[in-house]
Amino acid sequence: MKVLKCLAISIVILAFLLTPLLPFIPEEWSFQLPWVPLWGNVLKLEQAGIYGDFVGGFIGTIAFMVSVVILFISYQNQKETNRQNLDDQRQSSKQTVFDVRFYDMLKCHRENTAELEIEGKVGRRVFVSFIREFRKALSIVNALPETDSAQQLTTTSKIDLAYLAFYYGVGPNSTRLLRAATDHLPKASVEKVILEMGGAQVAYRELLKKPEDKGDLASRYLANLSKAEWELVRITYQPFDGHQSRLGHYYRHLYQMMKFVDSHPDKKMRRSYAALVRAQLSNHEQALLCLNSISKIGSAWSGENGFLQMYSMIKNIPKCFFDSEAEIDLEHQFPDMEFEYKDVERANKMPGKR
């Protein structure tokens, strides 16, 4: 279209430039054309009239036809421009709607995090205690006696059982939920964990009843507490009461937000939005999300098409955050995850780095 338009405009311009010059061409260039009105620099009225009819009838018709073509081409170009502008406006409107909803969801996530509270700890600080409580639950699972059922537990199964025990807890109602959630695991191991967790709760309450050094737990640790007792004290609240009321909606909303991010048509933009979400998660939040994804209730996060691997949601967990032998080997559990510490290690190995 652009080429045709340029050609038509060029023809019109050339015609308008050359036509007025025809009456003044030299006699020897005229080839004795009868309609040329100028012979020997003498203007002939009869030939001038013929020339005018020629210009008005023939050249004018060509100019009109060319003008029609130009007008049609201009109309098509304007139509295409309007369509493109409309598409751009629609795309911009869709992007604006997406951004508004995304940032509303991000704000809601921040509010969910800020509302988390347990025994005086608020917001992201609670995840530090959550990780400590999970580690206590995992130590109970790892200490199961060497029975046939215990030997059936793989490393992943142990983390699954420990996380479900941490998540649901034990108590009049919690124990029933925990048993239902762990029906895929050896029943004898589950019952032993429930019994040990109930004992840990009793031990914690007994520690708080001791009159000596009641307000100085650190001094009591140095003087009297065993390692197991100190693990309970550091949690700062009675363990294994369950956290589904705190974490249930937190993870549901986080998953829905990532599902919304994944619906964006542009792959590059999806990763950009996912990076913003990941930036909101502290190391302890990412660590608990990692554990949640290994458990039965968080299985939607993991897998080939899971958001955890797809958007590297836990890449900021430090290398030695988990004990690779006693807890979890991150690189073995998530072989495709590009952890941040790997980038640092590669950068340090570059020439010129010490």
Say if residue 278 is in the same domain as residue 321.
Answer: yes
Three-state secondary structure call for residue 146: coil
> Residue 313 falls within a domain, yes or no?
yes
> Residue 354 falls within a domain, yes or no?
no
Distances from the Cα of 197 to the Cαs of 134, 143, 164, 209, in angstroms?
A: 11, 12, 12, 19
Q: What is the pLDDT of residue 78?
A: 79
Residue 82: which domain range? 2-98
Say if residue 250 is in the same domain as residue 337.
Answer: yes
Say if residue 254 is in the same domain as residue 330.
Answer: yes
Q: What is the pLDDT of residue 39?
A: 46
Say if residue 230 is in the same domain as residue 250.
Answer: no
Say if residue 314 is in the same domain as residue 338.
Answer: yes
Q: What is the pLDDT of residue 343?
A: 73
> Residue 191 falls within a domain, yes or no?
yes
> From the CB of residue 278, how many other CB atoms can be counted at a distance below 10 Å?
18
Q: Single out the residue of 299, 210, 180 nearest to residue 251, CA to CA.
A: 299
* End-to-end CA separation in angstroms for the chain: 61
> Residue 291 falls within a domain, yes or no?
yes
Q: What is the pLDDT of residue 133?
A: 94
Say if residue 263 is in the same domain as residue 188.
Answer: no
Q: Single out the residue of 258, 250, 249, 273 nearest to residue 308, CA to CA.
A: 258
pTM value is 0.72
Alpha helices in 182-266 (DSSP H): 187-209, 217-223, 227-235, 244-262
Q: What is the pLDDT of residue 214?
A: 47
> Residue 324 falls within a domain, yes or no?
yes
Structurally, the chain folds into a number of domains equal to 3
Is the separation of the CB atoms in 136 and 145 below 8 Å?
A: no
> Residue 51 falls within a domain, yes or no?
yes
Say if residue 291 is in the same domain as residue 218.
Answer: no
> Residue 54 falls within a domain, yes or no?
yes
Last residue within a domain, chosen from 216, 235, 254: 235
Across the chain, which has 354 residues, the per-10-residue mean pLDDT values are 64 63 53 49 56 65 73 78 74 83 95 92 93 94 76 87 96 93 92 92 80 52 63 82 94 96 93 95 96 93 86 93 90 88 71 56
> Residue 31 falls within a domain, yes or no?
yes
Say if residue 199 is in the same domain as residue 286.
Answer: no
